Chains A and B, each alone.
Chain A
Amino acid sequence: MKGCSKHIQQIAEYIDGELDEALCTRLEEHLKECNNCRIMVDTLKQTVVLCREGKRERLPEDIESRLNDALKNKWEKKFGKKS
């Protein structure tokens, strides 16, 4: 079990498609016989999937219009009213 810790960075790169091919093959061999590493691959993958599913929040409209006024104000103080 202890030997598996050296795979963890590789496992992360493997999931992200960043591991080079030779190492991929070796890791896949290991995955065939190591249940914990298989679960690690699956759950680390799902962790990112779940994080990406979060709401894609947008700046509320009233805040956005207030923000635009404040920015324009600041801009005119800096550059004058030319635009």
Chain B
Amino acid sequence: MNEKELIIQAQSGDFKAFSRLIESRKDKIYRLAMKLTGNRDDAEDIVQDTLMKAIDAIDKFRMESSFGTWLYTIALNNIRAHAGDKKREALRPIDDYLPGSHSESTSKELFDWGDPHQQFERKRLNDMIETALAELPLKYSAPFTLRYIEDMPVKEVARVLDLSLSAAKSRILRARLALREKLSNVFREKNNERL
């Protein structure tokens, strides 16, 4: 049975068809929620709320997007609702992340990382990334995560988040630059310690 047939079956009340539709996507939504909230309990709630809402709305699904895209859209609304009240730092304009800008943290010469794996254990690097990602405002971390961790094409990222293509691109880049800078600061500090 292809996806379309499964959807039609599910819409007529077949729970098995629905289960098959969400089978491989439950973990994906969980992962996305973990990355974006940095919190296991929140992530579990988000998966449950998302799938409950999907049941509520399944008969309204009109096949205008793929089922996966539709589910991601519901998940992101839930993630926003869960994470919305947490304080996160604002991101700066793109130019501020480039060498020679006025920001204090970016000096004129960029720091060459070499191979971070030689200086940090894998686990430590993972923790750093997790923290850095969870600190970004959702409007940046969500498109970045969809694009690079879920490997979604930019066009689909824009669709899921209801953004123009250029807005999606710009947010993905800002998140990437902000993460780069956070990591760079940690690596530079570590390097200074050794000198």
A interface residues with partner B (beta carbon < 8 Å): 1-2, 4-5, 8-9, 12, 35-36, 39-40, 42-44, 46-48, 50-60, 63-64, 67-68, 70-72, 74-76, 78-80, 82-83
A53/B125 in contact, CB under 8 A:
yes
**B99 pairs with A36, CB closer than 8 A:** yes
A53 pairs with B13, CB closer than 8 A? no
Cross-chain contact A58 with B30 (CB below 8 angstroms):
yes
Contacts of A42 in B (CB 8 A): 112-113
**Is the pair A67, B129 in contact by a Cβ cutoff of 8 Å?**
no
Interface size range on B against A? 35 or more
A-B contact count (CB 8 A): 121
Inter-chain pairs besides A36-B99, A74-B52, A79-B13, 18 sampled, C-beta below 8 Å: A8-B94, A12-B176, A39-B113, A42-B112, A46-B113, A46-B116, A46-B183, A50-B183, A51-B133, A51-B144, A51-B149, A57-B31, A58-B30, A59-B26, A67-B51, A70-B48, A71-B52, A76-B15
Docked CA distance A47–B136 (Å) = 14
Q: SS class of chain A's interface: helix, strand, loop or mixed?
A: helix
Minimal beta-carbon separation of B103 from chain A (angstroms): 13
Do B183 and A8 touch across chains, with their CB atoms under 8 A apart? no
- 20 A-B contact pairs sorted by A residue (CB < 8 Å): A5-B98, A8-B94, A8-B98, A8-B177, A9-B169, A36-B110, A40-B110, A42-B113, A43-B110, A44-B180, A47-B179, A50-B129, A51-B179, A58-B31, A60-B44, A63-B47, A64-B26, A76-B15, A78-B56, A83-B16
Q: Is the CB of B95 within 8 A of A54?
A: no
**Min distance, Cβ B141 to any Cβ of chain A, angstroms:** 10
Give A71 to B48 CA distance when docked, in angstroms.
Answer: 8
Closest to B144 in A: A51
CA distance A36 to B125 in the complex (A): 24
A residues near B34, Cβ cutoff 8 Å: 57
